[in-house]
Structure 1
């Protein structure tokens, strides 16, 4: 850790209302966007543990609105958890306010920092160790959706505008094809056709939202396993974390992104698409957990659209990867030649496999909701 960065952390620690005397801080977690540290403070009764983070305001252009979102949602969650006899200190994030009363502070360089209570006795996992982990993940995100069912989603700011607006993503993609700024379009004619053949279907969710057939709700928008804290003793999913992308959206988006990432038999960037398929057992496992966590908070149409959510999120992600490939790999980090193209092909292969297994997916949802 550089001397300048160390100085900024010290400055931020002094601006936030941590209890006790700071004695150490070290990098924490596997996140790549924000700078995250675990802070230990000495108190008269022992130690207090905290998380302190520098918010990446290059990615999140409006940190003030972002923190307003998080403060509103976590306050609402604490009330709901407490009313149900839970432990709000462990089952949701708890913001440590700045000494001036705000939910964040700024250092002398203009960087935004925030603090959270550290949740002891719990761990996050980057990969599914066993199917039960995926079930618990689904249950946790379903419960998250249920607890926030009455939160006024339209009051939330869009931290990333049009993040899951698939028709807008398609327009960006078509513009990239037309511009062909890197001369790569001739290399991916099959992939371009695959995307364009499904353009009409890409608008179905947003059309249903406009028609009032799917309700606007609070969405997490990054529903991976490693955003769930698992209790070290009970093994149960404890708390949903990483709330930076909390936004108004559709429940099927959160469900679908979990399936896209967790029920694929291959890695997201697997070059050999013959290894790519949808695991129906994992799809069933997650669906069962998600619907159990939701406990009736989904409408009938939301439930029936869960398979479409999985397909749409996978398709949209493939379109984004392909767009970035056409534009010269300027958005997603790449570590090899054609990395984004491999990613796009993997997503499209998964979409194609979902189409083959569509009736089985629909039947799993029907049976799981009984």
Structure 2
């Protein structure tokens, strides 16, 4: 593997490189914290199998960053290579350097205050993006979050041979929910600019006030549905160990709603509870597909880890189903005023 420090020296970050340390727990890209005598940065080697056009990722980031320049929310800015452009190519991999923003990431919400703060921050991001034409952005991941795309992949994997009993039970779980899972993309919700991966550990918080400061991991900025974003945010922040924390989900959704209400359509509003259900189901399908395909997409530490991840997401899906009636009733109460 190319030495990250050698790649780091090719970017226009002032000072001499003194440390390059692994950073984060990302399942797709490889990431390091870069420290020089004068500055810091976040160095990433992009996964070319997932992102075959990294130039388009960087173009989207520049468009969105300029659009949000006056908004009360931040994204990390790219730091160019010394010879220009956005990326350094080394040993067939594309590398980029982003500014290192202050703040901490959370592994879990502490209370309803944290949940409300997270929802408010996602709402501010969406409000800032509401008047940006999604047609200006590249679709860097065709099929991303499209359930028909994943179910097609799933069906192809099932033709490769028999599966064990545990995998078979997860397949049955998917088949029982196939029709429901396809509905979200048929709601008439408008295409908008989305973050695409607004999970809890992609937000930087102030360590004292626990106020969100910035959204990071901008690889999935693209046209899509805000329903995907809000569903995935709730999934990551309000579900763990097969348990769904309804009160935290409602605190998150309520503060998100208060930010986006002036720009949200009625279809988007009405389908929020279904998005909360659909996103963990979708991720479970994706984990199972990758397990059946031999772990080609998500990083794993051992064979079977993607199967365990799928099981966990389906347990969360089932927990949301058990509380689905209350979730829908409380959401109707929160969002009683129409969108537009």
2:97 is matched with which residue? 115
Q: CA shift at 1:131, angstroms?
A: 3.5
Rounded to whole Å, the distance in 1 between the matches of 2:254 and 2:225 is 19
Match of 2:24 in 1: 30
**Aligned residues between the structures:** 335
Residues 1:279 and 2:245 are matched in the alignment: yes
**Correspondent of 2:66 among 66, 75, 84:** 75
Q: CA RMSD in A?
A: 2.6
Q: Deviations over 1:152-198 (max 9, x none)?
A: 21232222221111012112212222x143x2165544432332222
| SS of alignment partner, residue 123 of structure 1 | coil
Q: 1:130 aligns with which of 108, 111, 115?
A: 111
Corresponding position of 1:92: 75
For the residue of structure 2 that corresponds to 1:244, the secondary structure is helix
Q: After TM superposition, give the deviation of residue 100 of structure 1 in Å.
A: 4.2
TM-score, normalised via structure 1 length: 0.81
Partners in 2 of 1:342 and 1:187 — Cα distance? 10
Deviations 1:105-147 (A, max 9, x none): 334x343232233223x21223323332232222211211110
Query: Residues 28 and 368 (structure 1 numbering): CA distance in 2 closer, same or farther, change over 3 Å?
Result: farther
Decide whether the 8 Å contact of 1:71 with 1:103 is kept in 2.
Answer: no
Unpaired runs of 5+ in structure 2? Answer: none
Alignment of 1:1-370 (within 5 A): 5=3, 8-9=6-7, 12-14=8-10, 16-18=11-13, 20-32=14-26, 33-42=28-37, 47-78=38-69, 80-81=70-71, 86=72, 91-107=74-90, 109-120=91-102, 122-177=103-158, 179-181=159-161, 183-184=162-163, 187-208=166-187, 213-266=188-241, 276-335=242-301, 338-370=304-336
Check 1:226–1:350 CA distance in 2 against 1; reply closer, same or farther (3 A cut): closer
Secondary structure of the structure 1 residue equivalent to 2:244: coil
Runs of 5+ unmatched residues, structure 1 = 267-275
SS at match of 2:219: coil
State the Cα deviation string for residues 294-313 of structure 1 (Å, max 9, x = none): 35232122111111111111
* Preserved CA contact (<8 Å) 1:95 1:114: yes
What secondary structure, in the 3-state scheme, does the structure 1 residue paired with 2:190 have? coil
Distance of aligned partners of 1:101 and 1:286 in 2 relative to their CA distance in 1, 3 Å threshold: same
Instruction: Please give the alpha-carbon distance, in whole angstroms, between the structure 1 residues aligned to 2:252 and 2:199.
Output: 12
Residue 48 of structure 2 aligns to a residue in which SS?
A: coil
Give 1:5 shift. Answer: 0.4
Task: Quote the Cα distance in structure 2 between the aligned partners of 1:72 and 1:310.
Answer: 29
CA spacing shift, 1:146–1:116, aligned 2, 3 Å: same
Kept in 2, the 8 Å contact 1:304–1:362? The answer is: no
- Distance across 1 between alignment mates of 2:67 and 2:24: 28
1:232 offset after TM fit, Å?
3.1
| Structure label with greater radius of gyration | 1
Looking at structure 2, the residues matched to 325 and 101 of structure 1 have their Cα atoms a distance apart, in angstroms, of 40
C-alpha distance in 2, partners of 1:298/1:101?
A: 40
Alignment partners' CA distance in 1, 2:155 and 2:303: 23
CA apart distance, 1:348: 2.6
